Amino acid sequence: MEIDSVREIKDKYYSSLRFSIEREVMSSPQYGVRASPAGLVARVAPTISLGVGHDPNGHHLSVRVQHRAFLTGSTVEKLKRLAKGEIAVKYIGRVHALAAPSMLQEHCSPLLLGCSVSYVGGTSGSLGCFVRDAAGVVSILSNNHVIGRENQGNVGDNILQPGPYFGGRDPQSAIATLQKCVRIDSSQNLMDAAIANVMPGVQLDASTIGGGVNLSGKTVMPSAMFVVKVGAVTGLRRGTITASEHSGIVVNYASLGDCLFDNVIEISGDGTGPFGTEGDSGSLVVDDRGDAVGLLFAGSDQGEGVSYANPIDPILGTLGVSIYTSSPASP
């Protein structure tokens, strides 16, 4: 199927399908939604997500199911008819923000891409890359839930390397201070991202990824491509983008609960294990040329254990920064 045809189906039917699905969820006991006072009922229910699937022959409608009851429901059958069979349906279950329960887990000097970082009182996530604003200030880029305390962080808060889970302590492990977070709401989210300004004198290596791949400083749109990331827990992992532009992925956060994300990239591992796991959140996803594709932020432990990333270009634009690469040195 042509990519524009997939987008037309997705955009035309997503809003109406979501409304009918949520109404069905709240009215039927098979979905396990308990009767509760209105103020206590979750505003976002894990249901069905639609996206653009990538395969060697072109594109197809990608359908991701977060509740098993929908696998045999009328909604999926309707989507199969609309897509004329050019559809891939996959059960992914609950999707969780990747926060942690090598060398990248230890104190790193210089700072390395993928090394463990966290806010004070957190556990551990991963440093995605370094970025620079128009004034030349260099910052680390990671997730809001990794360095921004899920919307609760304040400008100037210390960011630790490694994270507390791996022994980081405040203030001796502080390497940056929180500068800006993209707020996460219960719905209408496009990214889980934040930046923190690198402290003076902190050494960094802003280009080495590993496996013969170095960060180029360029960005690329997601497509059916092989990708690489380096994270604090699983280290260097390779995978394949199986879908993009997914709308309706519901991600569970420790303090925020279930939050809805659109325009999400889906990545499958290469068969040796999942592309990312707990503690890899914030990792930068790149192609085999080192061009940045997205920022890892969530994953599913059901079905095939896929990982999810936000496209990098909207993140950079929203935060007003560009990717920074350098030799090991202080910024």
Answer whether residue 108 is part of any domain. no
98, pLDDT greater than 60: no
143, pLDDT greater than 80: yes
20-29, 98-107, 207-216, range with the lowest pLDDT:
20-29
Count of domains observed in the chain: 2
Domain that holds residue 39: 3-96+220-312
CATH number at residue 173: 2.40.10
Distance CA(292)–CA(60), nearest Å, equals 24
Answer whether residue 230 is part of any domain. yes
Q: Are 300 and 94 in contact (CB under 8 A)?
A: yes
91-95, 111-115, 174-178, 305-309, range with the lowest pLDDT:
91-95
pLDDT the model gives residue 16: 63
Mean of all residue pLDDT scores within the chain: 84
pLDDT the model gives residue 48: 77
Answer whether residue 156 is part of any domain. yes
128, pLDDT greater than 80: yes
Q: Are residues 56 and 23 in the same domain?
A: yes
Q: Are residues 228 and 303 in the same domain?
A: yes
300, pLDDT greater than 70: yes
Q: Are residues 190 and 320 in the same domain?
A: yes
Distance CA(38)–CA(271), nearest Å, equals 44
Q: Are residues 302 and 320 in the same domain?
A: no
167-171, 300-304, 325-329, range with the lowest pLDDT:
325-329
Q: Are residues 191 and 320 in the same domain?
A: yes
Answer whether residue 255 is part of any domain. yes
228: nearest Cα among 307, 118, 139, 298: 307
Give a three-class secondary structure readout of the chain. CCHHHHHHHHHHHHHHHHHHHHHHHHHCHHHCCCCCCHHHCCCCCCCEEEEEEEECCEEEEEEEECCHHHHHCHHHHHHHHHCCCCEEEEECCCEEECCCCCCCCCCCCCECCCCEEEECCCCCEECCEEEECCCCCEEEEECHHHHCCCCCCCCCCEEECCCHHHCCCCCCCEEEEEEEECCCCCCCECCCCEEEEECCCCCECCCEEECCEECCCCECCCCCCEEEEEECCCEEEEEEEEEEEEECEEEEECCCEEEEECCEEEEEECCCCCCCCCCCCCCEEEECCCCEEEEEEEEECCCCCCEEEEEHHHHHHHHCCEEECCCCECC
Long-range contacts of 224-227 (CB under 8 A, 24+ apart): 224/54, 224/55, 224/56, 225/287, 225/288, 225/293, 226/287, 226/288, 227/267, 227/275, 227/285, 227/286, 227/287, 227/288, 227/293
pLDDT the model gives residue 318: 98
Q: Nearest 5°: phi and psi at 24?
A: -65, -40
Answer whether residue 24 is part of any domain. yes
Q: Are residues 92 and 225 in the same domain?
A: yes
Answer whether residue 89 is part of any domain. yes
Strands 257-261 and 116-119: unpaired
pLDDT the model gives residue 35: 34
Q: Are residues 120 and 200 in the same domain?
A: yes
Answer whether residue 329 is part of any domain. no
Q: Are residues 231 and 287 in the same domain?
A: yes
CATH number at residue 280: 2.40.10.10
Answer whether residue 184 is part of any domain. yes
Residue 32's pLDDT band (cuts 50, 70, 90): very low
328, pLDDT greater than 50: no
- How far lies 126's CA from each of 31, 110, 133, 201, 211, in Å? 35, 15, 21, 21, 18
Q: Is the pTM of this model over 0.85?
A: no
Report the percent of the chain where pLDDT is more than 90: 51
Distance CA(171)–CA(59), nearest Å, equals 50
The 10s digit of each residue's pLDDT in 187-243 is 889 999 999 999 999 999 999 888 778 899 999 988 878 999 999 998 889 999 999
